[in-house]
Chains A and B, each alone.
Chain A
Amino acid sequence: MQHPVLTIARFSLLEAVRGKILWIMAALLLFAVFLAFFIGQTTLTETRETQVALMAGFLRLSSVLVIIFFVVSSISRDFQDKSVELLFSISMPRYQVFLGKFFGFSLLALSAAIIFSTGLVFYSDVSVVLFWALSLWCELTLVALISLIFILSLEHVAMSLVASIGAYALMRFMPAIQSMGDGPFQDSLFNQLMNKMLDLIDLLLPRLDHFVQSSWLVKGSAAEIDVIYFLLEFVLFVCLFVLVGVIDLKRKAI
């Protein structure tokens, strides 16, 4: 008999497949290829570099949005169908439900990374594309995990979407926000307090600015990719977020 975690993961992935999410990803990839071709016709030099950077950036952003929308809508539907109540009523620990959902969404993130990276193989070195895909999978898995925590906690679609997208923006732009706070005229008590708060938030969120970078594909060299850094960051924050999600789910009254 299959482990309950794997069963839930399989059904989460099946829901994505039947919901034509993979087709949406294929359509996005097709659009990105068209975009690259179009841009290639307008550039004067460095055509490949421009094509690959725009394609990679577009695919990263769109995959993040697809994952956030899917995770939030899927769990929201579970709440509406009373599937969550059903899962919690059977003799299965809640952490297994959480892990099952998380693994399912992580597999969907893997599918997205594989589909999107196939289009980039024609524009950059294969080994670099593989690192890019690995990094995208890590980023999407973290995004899926955060979205899962938000929707399970807030149970409200619009609020969860805004919170997930906001958290993603914070994870991507945190160094820039922090550097703005470190300006020469920012020594007031309020600014110092804000800076401390930003530093605290920074410790609670992964630094996604070290993850997927279009510049890797532009340069076509894997030498500059700090794989150890983003893998370690990924493992640490997956553990942290899973614990947050499990604890939150355990105390939840259904």
Chain B
Amino acid sequence: MTKSFHQIRSSHLPLILLIAVWLCVVIWRDSSMAQKVAVENFPEPPSVTTQVIMQASDVAFVYRFLLPWLQQFDVQSGQYVAYRNLDYTRLTGWLNSLQKMAPESQYPTLMATRIYTKVGDEQRIRQMLDFIYQQYQLNPEKKWRWLAEAAVIARHRLKDLPLALSYAQKLANEPSNVIPYWARDMQLTILEDMGEFEQVKLLVGGLLANKAITDDNEIRFLNLLLERLQKNNN
């Protein structure tokens, strides 16, 4: 009896030890996950030298590698970090650096518009809107849709109608043909919200008079808007 027990013990000892050590790993990991881990903030955006090194070899790979990292930054050690706890100045620096790597890409502006404006802090939303506006100025033909969304965010989330109007006016006055009528018409609806009916009438009248608009649906929309405003006035 003693001999067989001894045999079992000696032959299975490494296996028993292995299981014991692995159980220790499981317990340790479980306890460390349960601890409240300090929120890590964005690191400083890359310096010019670092950017040069990153871009020297394979810029597309580095760019596409950093995007998911930035996107998933709020998920840290099994917990979701609220955006209001993240440093938006550094975030803007990162978004700028990434956009410089691939000026044609829509990803950084999409993240700024659709992800990082979903924060309950006005100052942070404004930082993102500023970033979107800067990107629009650099490349209006590629980035107009994000400025249109920024105008909507300024109007409905920030309730800052002058800011929304300034964005909408940029879109309306953009000479490029790429921007559709619905985006150009945003300034009319925002002016209407602001109670500037006379200005809307003047703008619509001007648009219809100079024959620049050739689309029948757009002309019909502007005529209906003009009729509605005149009825309300009467």
> Which A residues are within 8 Å of any B CB, using their own CB?
39, 42-46, 49-50, 53-54, 56-57, 60, 172-173, 175-176, 179-180, 209, 212-215, 217-218
Name which of B67-75, B155-163, B167-175, B213-221 contacts chain A. B67-75
Give the complex CA separation of A120 and B69 in angstroms. 23
Per-residue CB proximity of B88-115 to A under 8 Å, as 1/0?
Answer: 0000000000000000011100110011
Looking at the assembled complex, report how far the CB atom of B200 sits from the nearest CB atom of chain A, in whole angstroms: 34
Is B23 at the interface (CB under 8 A from chain A)? no
A46 touches B106 (CB 8 A): yes
- Name B's A-contacting residues (CB within 8 A): 49, 52-53, 55-65, 67-68, 71-72, 105-107, 110-111, 114-115
- Residues in chain A near residue B64, CB distance under 8 A: 49-50, 53-54, 57, 214, 218
Q: Are A209 and B56 in contact (CB under 8 A)?
A: yes
Q: Contact check, A180 vs B49: say whether CB atoms are below 8 A apart.
A: yes
Q: Main SS of chain B's interface residues?
A: helix
Interchain CA distance A213-B59 in the complex, whole Å: 8
Let me know if B59 and A215 touch, CB within 8 A. yes
A45 and B57 contacting across the interface, CB-CB below 8 Å: no
Given A46-B106, A46-B107, A180-B49, is A172 in contact with B57 using a C-beta cutoff of 8 Å? yes
Known: A46-B106, A180-B49, A180-B52. A214 touches B67 (CB 8 A): no
A49 neighbours in B (Cβ, 8 Å): 64, 105
Give CA–CA (A189, B62) in the complex, Å.
34
Q: Which chain B positions have C-beta within 8 A of A173?
A: 53, 56-57
CA distance A179 to B57 in the complex (A): 13
Given the known interface contacts A39-B68, A46-B105, A49-B64, the answer about A214 and B56 at a Cβ–Cβ threshold of 8 Å is no
Closest chain A residue to B62 by CB distance?
A57
Q: Are B61 and A176 in contact (CB under 8 A)?
A: no
Chain B residues near A218: list those with CB within 8 A. 60, 64
Q: How far, in Å, is B201 (CB) from chain A's closest CB?
A: 39
Q: How far is the CA of A53 from the CA of B66 in the complex (A)?
A: 12
CB distance from A189 to the nearest CB of B (A): 22
User: Are B65 and A42 touching (Cβ within 8 A)?
Assistant: no
* CB nearest neighbor in A for B67: A50
Task: Give the chain B neighbours of A180 by CB distance below 8 A.
Answer: 49, 52-53
Q: CA of A202 to CA of B67 in the docked complex: distance in angstroms?
A: 32
A56 to B57: give the CA distance in the assembly, Å.
13
Q: Among B52, B53, B60, B114, which residue has its beta carbon within 8 angstroms of that of A213?
A: B60
Contact of A50 among B59, B68, B110, B114 (CB under 8 A): B68
> Inside 8 A of A175's CB, which chain B residues have their CB?
56
Which residues on the A side are within 8 Å of B57 (C-beta)?
172-173, 176, 209
* Interface contact B107-A45, CB-CB below 8 Å: yes
Q: Contacts A173-B53, A176-B52; is A44 near B61 (CB within 8 Å)? A: no
* Given known A-B contacts A57-B65, A173-B53, A213 and B58 have beta carbons under 8 A apart: yes
Which B residues are in CB contact (< 8 Å) with A43?
67-68, 71
A60 to B63 alpha-carbon distance, docked (Å): 16
Q: A180-B52, A215-B59 are in contact. List 6 more A-B contacts (CB 8 A).
A: A49-B64, A49-B105, A50-B64, A50-B68, A53-B63, A56-B60
